[in-house]
Amino acid sequence: MTVAVVTGANSGIGRQTAVDLAAKGWTVFGTMRSLEKGEKLAAKAAAAGVEVTPVVCDVTDTESVNAAIAEVEAVAGGIDVLVNNAGVGGNGVVEETPLEDYLSVFDVNVVGVVRCIQAALPGMRERGSGTIVNVSSIAGRIAALAQSPYVASKWALEGLSEGFAQEVAAFGIRVVIIEPGVVRTAIMAKNVDAPDSSGAYETAYRRLFAFYAAGLETPGLPTEVADVIHEAATTDEPKLRWTCGWGGPELSGNRSSFTDEEWVALGAIEDDAEYLARFSELFNLDIT
């Protein structure tokens, strides 16, 4: 019996992943900051005819993380798969983003992942097996416009994961990076704020929201991401990075086909129509 812990299981990708893995016969524990936040998870699990055990865990609190992992290990005897899904967004250009925004986003998206890894890894290492899935974003490969704190955190997570994969390879532990593009989740509906305090970056924010508007016309679905997570954790042909969702394959696959100078020049285009056309040309992705 595969035992999995999915962080941030009270909504979006985490909730769908927890339920879908349980439907595949896994024993699944879904974490959330308080049990009151688990009503939708419980309802979704019940509708699917499966059980997901809720566990209180605040990934920004080391004691909370350690207690949650210890609770699961005591009940289940060990953890086979840890899905580090809990995350937050963060819009803003560098000049206008308050420093505390960077700190709070990193505390969840990077340090929160480290807390969970440090709590669960000793047990996996002792058994000589396990899989740790870090849910990143296509923004961890492409510096999405006007999302500086989010992009920075996901690039950090990618680097952390890549180095970590080598660190634990000798112990029989697999590390997986999931890079969704645009996926229909509640976080997308919440991600509509932008500082725009100076008024100088109105074009950057406008283009940011235009990109997501294009993606949300035909977005990826949480079920797609959940399927990729399951495949990545169970495949006999493991690989480090897995991309899914609207725009994911195009953005990741095409970035290496043009130069850094061409990427920078994209930002200097003043006309929106010309910008959108050039973006589509570079990435083979229609956002017009």
Q: At 244, which CATH number?
A: 3.40.50.720
Determine, yes or no, domain membership for 149: yes
What confidence category does residue 197 fall into, taking pLDDT thresholds of 50, 70 and 90?
Answer: confident
Determine, yes or no, domain membership for 167: yes
Task: Provide the 3-class DSSP secondary structure of residue 236.
Answer: coil
Determine, yes or no, domain membership for 282: no
Q: Which of 150, 205, 212, 275 is catalytic?
A: 150
Report percent pLDDT > 90 for the chain: 93
102 is catalytic: no
Q: The domain containing residue 132 runs over which residues?
A: 3-199+219-248
Determine, yes or no, domain membership for 19: yes
Determine, yes or no, domain membership for 281: no
Q: Please choose, from the candidates 94, 89, 143, 136, the residue with its C-alpha nearest in 3D space to the C-alpha of residue 113.
A: 136
The tokens of 203 are what? 């074009």
Amino acid identity, position 129: S
Q: Which pLDDT score, from 0 to 100, does residue 288 have? A: 84
Beta strands (DSSP E) in the chain are 3-6, 27-32, 52-56, 81-84, 130-135, 173-180, 241-244
Q: Which pLDDT score, from 0 to 100, does residue 46 have? A: 97
Determine, yes or no, domain membership for 134: yes
Determine, yes or no, domain membership for 236: yes
Domain total of the chain: 1
For residue range 118-145, list pLDDT tens digits in order. 999 999 999 999 999 999 999 999 999 9
Determine, yes or no, domain membership for 206: no
Question: Is the pLDDT confidence value at 231 over 70?
Answer: yes
Q: Which pLDDT score, from 0 to 100, does residue 185 have? A: 82
